[in-house]
Chains A and B, each alone.
Chain A
Amino acid sequence: MENFRVLIVDDELDFLETILIRLQRRNVDAVGVSSGKMAIEMIEREHFDVAILDVRMPGIDGFETLREIKKRRPFMEVIMLTGHGSVESGIQGMQMGAFDYVLKPVKIDDLLDRVRKAFERKAIHEKKSGR
């Protein structure tokens, strides 16, 4: 088992399902939800290290979810995942504190690599803050 927990947030259920199965097959402890609202509820209840957020979602979109996550869990790292990436939204994501901004489609091993880096950053951050 990898030693981190991942939350995946995407309103496209097929995509969510596929990515969950692939991560779990690689021994990653991953949970999926299909909206920003559910994501926020989820992180209030359970512990996660890294979140993968779809940018475009109905209701609370990826950026708003990012903001809420950072407010509640400042050490959690967030990777933005999008099928409609633009430079403008990439800059916005980074400015709002995302760790990475990744274009769909993405190879699962590539994504996992990024999750590992994000988790490493979280660990460094916590160590630096004396936690």
Chain B
Amino acid sequence: MAENANKLTDRIHYILPYLPGVLTIVIALPVWFAAGPILGILAGVLGMGCTLTCHRILVRVREISDQKACLDAQLIQSQKLAAIGELSSGIAHEINNPLAIIGQEVQWIRHIVDKAAIGSEHHAELDESVTEIGKQVKRCAEITHKLLDFARKRDPLIQGCDVNRLIEDMVRLVERETAQKNIAIVRNYHEGLPELYTDHPLLRQVILNLLNNATYAIDKDGTITVKTLRKGQDALEILITDTGCGITSENIRKVFNPFFTTKPPGKGTGLGLSLCHSIIHKLGGDIRVESEPGKGATFIIRLPMNYAEGENLI
């Protein structure tokens, strides 16, 4: 019921601005008969002009509200990521110390076991068990370190950068692994790009993570295409496309969320892309993904080209 009423008011809102113009056109005919063709035509033209202007204004208003909705969504996304980041780093911080203590105790137990239980029938079992505890503690520590790193406020340091060269360095590194899996890497660098002012190690980290994901998505036999291009006067895009498994429409909204992973347990932390997202935003750009499930995915980074050396981005 309420929905119907809403639709009705929507429709009225839509029609209302056109009303004066349409009325003027309608009135044009009687005016023609009453006051001759000149005034009649004048009224008609006036009406049409009025209608057209209204239409243009309406279209523009709709465009602007669409843009606003998009910006709102982006803002919510970054706020959400920031909140999750803060929460998880808080937890990581709290868990880190107990974890370190467990690690030390494990070493101590091992020392005692070696001394006291050597030769006893349970020695091997004890040894195995202590080793396993040590391994799992180490794994936990790796996760907490990643988390702390994710939330660390490392301000970007901005300096001039040959983007193509920076990317090529990372591609070479990845190529050592892709070569064995029959994955070809196609370079499509925009020649003669001006220097980009950015944070080198942060950008390296992003490119490496994306190339790593692409390699994992393909598994073997496929192609990764790396492309750079200029977007107008003051932006640059880096595209990393793979012919891997792609991302389902259900998952595509979640890939930048911390801890979202489709890797088997223990294989991935799901922090790679959320780290990329937070870095690229720190660098004043944005990152998005397009994918056709089963065919592959493209990650698109857009970076501003108008920052100067040493300038603070935030």
List CB contacts (< 8 Å) of A80-120 with chain B: 85-88, 90-91, 94-95, 97-103, 117, 120
Answer yes or no: B157 CB below 8 A from chain A CBs: yes
List CB contacts (< 8 Å) of B204-251 with chain A: 204-205, 208-209, 211-212, 215
Q: Do the beta carbons of B159 and A117 come within 8 Å of each other?
A: yes
- The binding surface of chain B is classed by DSSP as helix
Chain B residues within an 8 Å CB radius of A100 = 169, 200-201, 204
Q: Do the beta carbons of A94 and B201 come within 8 Å of each other?
A: yes
- Rounded to whole angstroms, the CA-CA distance of A46 and B157 in the bound complex is 25
Q: Do the beta carbons of A87 and B173 come within 8 Å of each other?
A: yes
Number of interface residues of B (CB under 8 A): 27
Chain B residues within an 8 Å CB radius of A125 = 157
Answer yes or no: B94 CB below 8 A from chain A CBs: no
Q: Do the beta carbons of B157 and A128 come within 8 Å of each other?
A: yes
Chain A residues within an 8 Å CB radius of B155 = 128
Assuming the contacts A87-B215, A91-B209, asked whether A121 and B174 have C-beta atoms less than 8 A apart, the reply is no
- Rounded to whole angstroms, the CA-CA distance of A94 and B202 in the bound complex is 7
Answer yes or no: B170 CB below 8 A from chain A CBs: yes
Q: Do the beta carbons of A87 and B174 come within 8 Å of each other?
A: yes
Assuming the contacts A95-B149, A95-B205, A100-B201, asked whether A90 and B173 have C-beta atoms less than 8 A apart, the reply is yes
Closest Cβ neighbor of A89 among chain B residues: B173
Contact of A94 among B159, B177, B208, B312 (CB under 8 A): B208
Chain B residues within an 8 Å CB radius of A124 = 157-159, 309-310
Answer yes or no: A131 CB below 8 A from chain B CBs: no
Assuming the contacts A90-B208, A91-B212, A94-B205, asked whether A85 and B157 have C-beta atoms less than 8 A apart, the reply is no
- Rounded to whole angstroms, the CA-CA distance of A85 and B215 in the bound complex is 16
Number of interface residues of A (CB under 8 A): 22
Answer yes or no: A45 CB below 8 A from chain B CBs: no
Answer yes or no: B263 CB below 8 A from chain A CBs: no
Answer yes or no: B176 CB below 8 A from chain A CBs: yes
Chain A residues within an 8 Å CB radius of B177 = 86-87
Answer yes or no: A25 CB below 8 A from chain B CBs: no
Closest Cβ neighbor of A78 among chain B residues: B201
Answer yes or no: B172 CB below 8 A from chain A CBs: yes
- Rounded to whole angstroms, the CA-CA distance of A86 and B172 in the bound complex is 10
Answer yes or no: A71 CB below 8 A from chain B CBs: no
Q: Closest CB-CB distance, B138 to chain A, in whole Å?
A: 14
Residues of A within 8 A of B (CB): 85-88, 90-91, 94-95, 97-103, 117, 120-121, 124-125, 127-128
* Selected A-B contacts with CB under 8 Å, 19 pairs: A86-B173, A86-B176, A87-B208, A90-B170, A90-B173, A90-B204, A94-B201, A94-B208, A95-B149, A97-B201, A100-B169, A100-B200, A100-B201, A100-B204, A102-B169, A124-B158, A124-B159, A127-B310, A128-B310
Q: Nearest 10 pairs between A and B by C-beta?
A: A94-B205, A124-B310, A87-B212, A94-B201, A91-B208, A95-B149, A90-B173, A94-B204, A124-B157, A125-B157
Given contacts A90-B208, A121-B157, 4 further A-B contacts (CB under 8 A): A87-B215, A90-B170, A100-B204, A117-B159
Residues of B within 8 A of A (CB): 146, 149, 154-155, 157-159, 169-170, 172-174, 176-177, 200-202, 204-205, 208-209, 211-212, 215, 309-310, 312
